[in-house]
Every structure is written in structure tokens, then in C-alpha cells.
Amino acid sequence: MASTSTEDDNQTYFILGLGVGIIALVILLVVGVAIGSRGHGGEKQAASPTTVSMASAAPVQGAAATAVVTESTVVVIPEGSSIRVEGGVVKFYFATGSADLAPGAAEALAAVIQGVGQGKKAQLSGFTDSTGDAAINEELAKRRALTIRDVLVGLGVPPGQVALKKPEGTTGSGNDAQARRVEVQLVD
């Protein structure tokens, strides 16, 4: 009779564990969909990135994909969006007309979040490329910066520790793909 009770307990624990796991997956799915669709106009998100180890620090470009090197990892991101960390500044690059973030935003912002925890502020500056209407580009740059601000706040950074700063020259340097960016840096 004792073995029947043990078997019943094991089955109960298994069913409870399975139920909790399913609930956790549903919650993660809902949160992922909510974050993925916020401010993205319903555009399709990129599939999971492919990671390749490299020792270079330059972007690698291919057909309809961009590879970004951060430290010693290359992350291949379709659709023209990417993230690069250079000298403590996190640079988010965007596809034309889009405010969609490349995968890995939370990981790229880890040092910024740590710095905010040490009393600094995260300062965000949005830049545009030189094509199209300047007013529309500036609004898009602001929307991109607000998207990153929302990610930082979602990761636990107090809203008062995130400052949006409009740069003196909003047209970014480099080619159009390099100009469409938001820079995040720590300030005192």
C-alpha cells in the first residue's frame, strides 16, 4: 500500500510540475509577443540570430543580413538591424523606416544597466540617415530612442535614470546604414 501512495505522489508532482511549466511558457510567450509588437507596426521580427566566434571588431555584411561583432562574437541579424558596443557606447542600428531592435538588446545593455546601478544615468541620442524627409526622420529617431528607453525600463532601470538627448546634428555619420542609429552611453 505504501508503494501506491508513493506512485500517486510522484504522479501528482509530475502533473503539478508540468502544469507550472506550461503556465510559465504561456506567460513568456505573451510577454515576448507584447514586447515584440510594441511600437513595431506589426512588422515581422527576425528569427533567432546565428552566432559565430570571431576575433574581429568590424561589421560583416552579406546578402540581406548583417553580422555584428561585439567583443568576440558575431551575431547575424537579417533585415539590416544590428547592435554594436564600441568604447562603452552601445549603438543600435536600424533598418530603413523601422524602429525594430535587433535580438540581443538586453545583453548589449548589461553594462549600461550595471552603470545605472552605480549611480550613473543612461543617455540616449537618436540619429537619422540623410535620405527622405528630415521631419519624419527626426520623429523616427525619437521613436527608436523611446523603444530603447522602454527596454531599459523593462529591464529594471528607473525612468528617471534614462535621459533622451537630442544631438546637435541629428544626421548620423557614416553611410546610411551606419547613420540610422541610437547611441546609449553612461553619464554622471
pTM above 0.75, yes or no: no
Q: Taking the domains of the chain in order of start, what are their residue ranges?
A: 1-37, 50-187
- Gap between the Cα atoms of 114 and 120, Å rounded: 9
Superfamily of 50-187 according to CATH: OmpA-like domain (3.30.1330.60)
Tell me the per-residue pLDDT of 4-59, one tens digit each, with 9 for 90 and over.
Answer: 677 777 888 778 777 777 786 667 666 666 665 554 443 333 333 333 322 233 33
Kindly tell me if the per-residue pLDDT of 88 is higher than 80: yes
pLDDT at 57: 33
- Give the model confidence (pLDDT) of 171-180 as tens digits: 666 677 788 8
Pick from 48-57, 64-73, 78-87, 145-154: least confident = 48-57
Mean pLDDT of the chain: 73
Number of other CB atoms surrounding residue 109 within 10 Å: 22
